[in-house]
Structure 1
Amino acid sequence: MKWIDLPPVWLGLFLVLVWWAPQFGFAAERNVAWRGLVGWALVALGLCLMILAVMQMARHRTTVIPHLQPSALVKTGIFGISRNPIYLGDALVLAGFVLIWDTSILFLLLVPAFMFLITRRFIMVEESRLNQAFGEEFATYCRSTRRWL
C-alpha cells in the first residue's frame, strides 16, 4: 500500500479536484488571457525544478523515493535554493493548472493545503531520516537553506 502513498499520487488527486471544479460550478469568473500564460509558465518552472532535482539526485546516486533511505545529502545546485525542489515544483504545477483550467481563482487555496499535506506526510519524515543519517551536516544545511523557498 506504501507505493500508493507517494507525492505524485497526491498531486494527481489535487489536479483531478481542480480539473473537475468547473463541472460543479466553480468556473473562473471570466476567461482572462494572462491566466493561461502565467499558468503555463508556472507549470514549466515546476517541471524544470523537478527535472533538475532528479538529475542532481541521480548524480549523487541517492533515491528520489520518499520512503527509502537516502545514501547522500544533496546540498548544491537547486538544493542550495530549496531543500525540497521537487515538492516546490509540484506546488508550482498545481498552481499553474488552477490558472490554466477555467477554475475559480479561489482554488489557489489548494496550493498551501497541498504544501501542508506534503510537509506533514513526507517532508517531516524525510527530514528525520536525513537527520539520523547525516546529523550535524544536515542540521547545518537546514540552517542555511529553507524548506520551500
Structure 2
Amino acid sequence: MKWIDIPPVWLGLALVFTWWTGILQPSALRMDLPILDLLGGLLVGGGLVLMGLAFVEMRKQRTTVIPHMEASHLVTTGIFARTRNPIYLGDALVLAGLALRWDAPLALVLVPVFMFTITQRFIIPEEARLRRAFRADFARYCQNTRRWM
C-alpha cells in the first residue's frame, strides 16, 4: 500500500475535491471573471514548469524523484537553488490554478491543507533522510534555500 502514499495521489484527491466543489458550490459564490481564468492558467503553467525544471535537474544529478527512496545526490542547483521543494510547490500552484479555472473559489482552502499534508507526509521525512545522508551540506542548503519559496 506504500505505492498509494505518493504525492501525485494526494494531488489527485485534492483536484477531485476541487472539481467537485466547483460543481456543488452555490452559483452566488461563482466569480466567472476572465482575469481569474487567465490567472488560473498562469498558475497551472507555472506549476508545470517548476515540476519540469525539477525533474530535469534531478535527472541530471542522477538521483531519484520518488519519495520514500534514498537520494544518491543532494540537488542544490537549477530550480533547487530557489526552493527546496519545487515539485510540491508546482503541485500547489496547479491546485490553486485549477480552483480558479474551474470557478471553485471555496476550494482554494484546499491549497494550504494540501501543503500542510505534503509537508507532514513527505517533506519532513525526506528532509530527515537528506539530513542523515548529507549532514553539513544539507544544513547549509537549508540555511540558504527556503522550503517553499
* TM-score after normalising by structure 1: 0.96
Match of 1:123 in 2: 123
- Quote the sequence identity (%): 57
Higher helix share: 2
Give 1:96's aligned amino acid. Answer: G
* TM-score after normalising by structure 2: 0.96
Give 1:82's aligned amino acid. Answer: T
5+ residue gaps, structure 2, are none
Match of 2:6 in 1: 6
Give 1:31's aligned amino acid. Answer: D
Counterpart Cα distance in 1 of 2:124 and 2:31: 39
Match of 1:141 in 2: 141
Counterpart Cα distance in 1 of 2:18 and 2:2: 25
Contact 2:22 2:107 in 1 (8 A): no
5+ residue gaps, structure 1, are none
What SS class does the counterpart of residue 44 from structure 2 fall into? helix
Match of 1:82 in 2: 83
What SS class does the counterpart of residue 3 from structure 1 fall into? helix
Counterpart Cα distance in 1 of 2:73 and 2:17: 36
CA shift for structure 1 position 23: 2.8
Aligned length: 148
What SS class does the counterpart of residue 43 from structure 2 fall into? helix
Match of 1:33 in 2: 34
Counterpart Cα distance in 2 of 1:26 and 1:55: 42
Counterpart Cα distance in 2 of 1:100 and 1:30: 10
Match of 1:55 in 2: 56
Question: What is the RMSD of the two structures over their aligned residues, measured on CA atoms?
Answer: 1.0
Give 2:65's aligned amino acid. Answer: V
